[in-house]
Structure 1
Amino acid sequence: MHFHANQAKSFTEGRNIRCFGEVRPGPQGLEMVHPEYQLFDDTPPPLADQLTPIYPTTEGISVVRIGQLIELAWQQLEHQRLHIEELLPQQLIKQYQLPSLQSSLQQLHYPKVGVDIQQLESQVTPAKLRLVLEELIAHQLTLSRAKQQTQSLPAPALAAVQNLEQQFIQQLPFSLTGAQRRVWSEIMADVSQPLPMVRMVQGDVGSGTTVVAALAACRAVDNGCQVAVLAPTEILAEQHLHNFKHWLEPLGVTVVWLTGKQKTKPKRDALAAIANGTAQIVIGTHALFQDSVEYQHLGLAVIDEQHRFGVAQRHCLVAKAPPNCGLHQLVMTATPIPRTLAMSAYGDLDHSVIDELPPGRKPINSVLLNNV
């Protein structure tokens, strides 16, 4: 056994010790590693009537220190030197029989000895659910405010000119599925309004989300707007570049490539084409929203695998729209997202699903593997 000098002096013969910690088998019997302990002579001090929480730690701060800081904060609350506002409406608290915010904090940080341990460890106590509900409501309010801010500026209403759209559909070697046509109609209804579209299209790999994005790009180009197609990796961006060039360049649409790794002259030429408007569709990675990029009239942003981009990065691209003008946004994902999760995590986006594969395509099975 190893002790600091002060510890060694406190362990005198005949004194009693009470240890708190995880008991586990050791080389010479049961042992505790770094236990908490109390020393006493005859009568043991009374046990606390509450459990001791074990907090997750980070470098530079111990469990004990975290507990001390929480105790200091709690003392401020108990003596009313610190006030926390009850944010949930009283009607909601009564309806679901929720504890108050202060009571919830007390029950979680200072649980009584007789509490249901299984319920506590499963994090389904009323106190925990109370805090979870407040966080979810705050998250939804934040998303709602973000959507209001997004739609506070007018966006160009993209009229149904249809010349380019119809040419594009006619030259495809396949027919659109019913799901693609449904989602296309939802997108067209959005962009025909003088408010920014913010819509997420979800579809398995091979379901044809890129074709729908190309249709939206055709509508924007037909109305004299530029389109930015943003992908998180160069490999994915190159796939989009190949598809858009193959589909649209024969129809007279200029597609430009822009990434951070381009050599000086191709990059300078791309930036000039974007600035003077000859680049009608710009495809690339994070370079699309760098300070050096100036669009002549950006009207639509297509963002693939949008969960790979932060909100701030999306806003940087939105800021490339003309002054005092909003930007239509179409975000795509092949990641399976349950509808309820999509509504909670992406509440600022309208939601469309391409739930039909083209004929001959093999279905996609999504599985979750543990410990691979």
Structure 2
Amino acid sequence: MRDHDGASPAATVGGVVRSQRASRRTHSGQALLLWGLLVAAANLRASLTGVGPVIDRIQVDLRLAPAVAGLLNTLPLLAFAMISPIVPRLAARWGSAWVLGAALVVLTLGIVVRWVPAASALLAGTVLIGAGIAVGNVLLPSLIKRDFPTRVGLLTAAYAAVMGGVAAVASGVAVPISEIAPGGWHTALGWWAVPALAAVMLWLPQLKGPGRTAEPMRHARLPWGSPLAWSVTAFMGLQSLGFYVVVTWLPQVFHDSGVTSTAAGWLLFLFQAVAVATSLAVPAALRRTRDQRGIATISSAALFAGYLGLLINPGWAVLWSVVLGLGGGACLVLALTFLGLRAPDPAAAGALSAMAQSIGYLLAAVGPVIFGFLHSVSAGWQVPIIFMCVAAAGQAIVAIAAGRGTVPNTSDQAAPTTR
């Protein structure tokens, strides 16, 4: 017996069952992909933020000059700036999944190399870590745009929260681990190879199946001629500059205002914890707005208020840590979200991400240096904090352009290329 379309009931039922199984496989694959992206994100800051709390011990044990010790914070940012522009071309040639997998392997190797008790190994491992993280920074927004196009804001906030939360934990546990674990600070830095290796293993399934091993992908040129892309780049750069200035110098600012060193470290943790909580709240706010201009401007203004508070009354350390965390957490999520929302497709998102992060991390690399230089020549914190107020004001201005609900003109992008 057949139905009115000529198909037997058994065939119809079989088709439904096959469709349901395919749907379940699709959902399972999407869930595994999401877990892979989030665990990768968890490794994009922790191996960096754990260095600062133990850098004095590193400097003493390896007899490093202050300038050499400073490279441990600067080298990764320079690696971000130099490697980010070439990531879209690598992804177009080899596929995003394979390139990200290779980057996670390089990151893991860098952490292991840094475990070796020698200054040369420490610096070489730091360069490898910076290279691996640079690729992840560029590709995660592109992969979210490609595989979860309707949930860009939500998933960007999720991976930013994971990245920031694990980074905060890394800075908090570095000293305790260095005090109780065999190997001291070597172990405190080296044990992060375990979660990095876990990210590699969790990403392996993404290298299998159709469209993974030979992923066709258009190569988009970096949008240097787009005013909107430059606005997004400026927003990314200024918020990155602010973050790295804060994590580098905020404890010293508080300490010089009368706070103990231990309390200053916890205030930095408070800043990061508030930033993580704020990043989780951003998607709900974005759903209530037609574009992101308002929230981007308000978040930048919060940073301005925090810096101004430090300038006027640095003794209110807890309040300014919270205010800076509120603004910083929101601005990070917005900067990352812009990379997906301001691009018409995944290839363009990767190109915009490469441009924004290349220039952005150059600013981030020089920010702490300028801040420290201004402190030295002015013999106080007022001038460098005024510098940060100016940077936050500039960020609020570019937020108006970066937050518009449009995408860059794609006429300057190259034709599709395949492997």
Does TM-score exceed 0.5, indicating one fold? Answer: no
Between Structure 1 and Structure 2, the one with more strand by share is 1
* Structure number with bigger Rg: 1
User: TM-score range with shorter-chain normalisation?
Assistant: under 0.3
Higher relative contact order (CA 8 A, sep 6+): 2
Between Structure 1 and Structure 2, the one with more helix by share is 2
